[in-house]
A = this chain, B = another copy of it.
Amino acid sequence: MATLKDVAALAGVSVKTVSNVVNGYAFVKPENRRRVEEALTATGYRPNLGARNLRRGRTGFVALVLPELVVPYFAELAGLVLGAAQEHEWNVLIEQTLGTRDGERDTLASLGPHMIDGAIVSPEALQAHDFGELAPGIPVVMLGEHSVDLPMDHVGIDNVEAARAAVAHLVDLGRTRIAAIGAHPHRGTAAQRLEGYRKALVEAGLPVRDGLVATALNYHRRDGAEAMARLLAAPEPPDAVFCFNDLLAVGAVRAAAERGVRVPADVAVVGFDNTEEGAYSLPSLTTVAPDKAAIARAAVDLLRRRVDDPGRPPQHVRTPFSLEVRDSTRGDA
């Protein structure tokens, strides 16, 4: 593997001149530049990023910390972040937190200080809070949860408003017993979506009944199915369900189907995230559609600015969303 030294020897100049050519320094004699460039291609020189980073103090890596890649929303988001980071010449290190806070703490603690320039974190539960102490001094952009109390950069949609719009849509359909699936004791986004849900009911003059709010400790298909089963077994089952993500909705639809409950005729279902899976499921899923590309772009941009200027005041970016109306809420009750 060729080093600057090898190239320099071949071109008959100093190591630094080669370095200057590689880094696009202006004042290099054309003759020398030519010879260096020849030597560069002849040797197939590739800069040793490790050494460069050691010198520069930057690594060219950013971490993307998220709960789980198997959740389609995160997979889609990860793909978009990968793309956006590429434009900034950043490589992305993906870290799954799963649920094991301790395990991840170690990797991030060892990676954090030296190997990454910053991190984009999609927090699960309380994690947002201990992350600050966990990686002191490393630039972080938070995704999703809008915790204003934390002095950190943040990107996300207006969860309260998005949930309100979704439930208002169900109200417009004439549904009156509207349930929610996805309440969670520690999850910030869950609290916000629940708030939007309540708001919409109040605005419509509908009662807010505890029995119609189903908790989900994870946001997987299974949890949606279980929650739906519980709701349907109640004495007065819902005629509509707002699920806090598409996976819960997919599970809910399946649980309904297994019990002969028709969607949307008997129960209308709305999801959240606009995953492609929901668009193809039967019936296709009405869902809140956050602009994921915008989220990814904003997160990377924000991180870039924070890395360039660690002192700047934290910024909160609101990305747009829309309501994608599909078959799961089309048709009459």
Residues of A within 8 A of B (CB): 1, 46-51, 53-54, 59, 68-70, 72, 75-76, 78-79, 82-83, 86, 91-96, 103, 107, 109-115, 137, 221, 225, 250-251, 253-254, 257, 276-277, 279-282
Contacts and interface: CB of A to CB of B under 8 A. Distances in A.
A221 B1 CA distance: 44
A107 B137 CA distance: 28
Given A50-B50, A54-B50, A282-B282, A94 B76 contact: no
* Identical chains in the assembly: 2
A261 to B, nearest CB: 12
Contacts of A1: 113-114, 137
Contacts of A53: 50
Contacts of A254: 280, 282
Contacts of A276: 70, 221
A95 B69 CA distance: 14
A53 B225 CA distance: 48
Given A82-B69, A94-B92, A276-B221, A49 B282 contact: no
Contact of A107 (B69, B86, B114, B225): B86
Contacts of A107: 86, 91
A253 B277 contact: no
The residue among A46, A75, A254 with the most chain B CB atoms within 10 A of its own CB is: A75
The residue among A1, A113, A250 with the most chain B CB atoms within 10 A of its own CB is: A113
28 contacts: A46-B109, A46-B112, A46-B114, A47-B110, A49-B115, A50-B50, A50-B54, A51-B54, A54-B54, A69-B78, A69-B79, A69-B82, A70-B79, A70-B276, A72-B277, A75-B75, A83-B96, A86-B103, A91-B115, A221-B276, A221-B279, A221-B280, A225-B280, A250-B280, A251-B280, A254-B280, A277-B277, A282-B282
